[in-house]
Amino acid sequence: MRRNLLIGLGGLILVLGLLFLLQGSGVVHGSPMTDDHFWIYAGAVIAVVGAALLSVGLRVGRR
C-alpha cells in the first residue's frame, strides 16, 4: 500500500510540477500563472520532488 501511495503521489506531483513549469514559460495559456517566471522555477522544484517520490516508490518493496 505504501508503495502504491508513493508512486501515485509522486506521479501526480511530477505532472503538476511540469504543468506549472509549462504555464510559467508561456507554453500553456489560460491561467494567471502564464508567463510568470516564478512558476518556471517553482514548477521545476515541484517536479523534482515528485520525481524523487516516484523513484522512492518504485524502489520500495523490490527486496
**C-alpha neighbours within 13 Å on the C-beta side of residue 21:** 13
pLDDT digits (tens, 9 = 90+) for 9-18: 999 999 999 9
DSSP label of 30:
S
- Inter-residue long-range contacts of 37-45, CB under 8 Å, 24+ positions, other chains counted: 43/17, 43/18, 43/19, 44/17, 45/17
Q: Is 34 exposed, middle or buried (0-12, 13-18, 19+ CB in 10 A)?
A: middle
The single-letter code of the amino acid at 26 is: G
**Amino acid 1: pLDDT:** 78
On the question of pLDDT at 63 being above 80, the answer is no
Specify the pTM: 0.89
Longest dimension (CA), the chain: 45
pLDDT digits (tens, 9 = 90+) for 23-49: 999 998 888 889 999 999 999 999 999
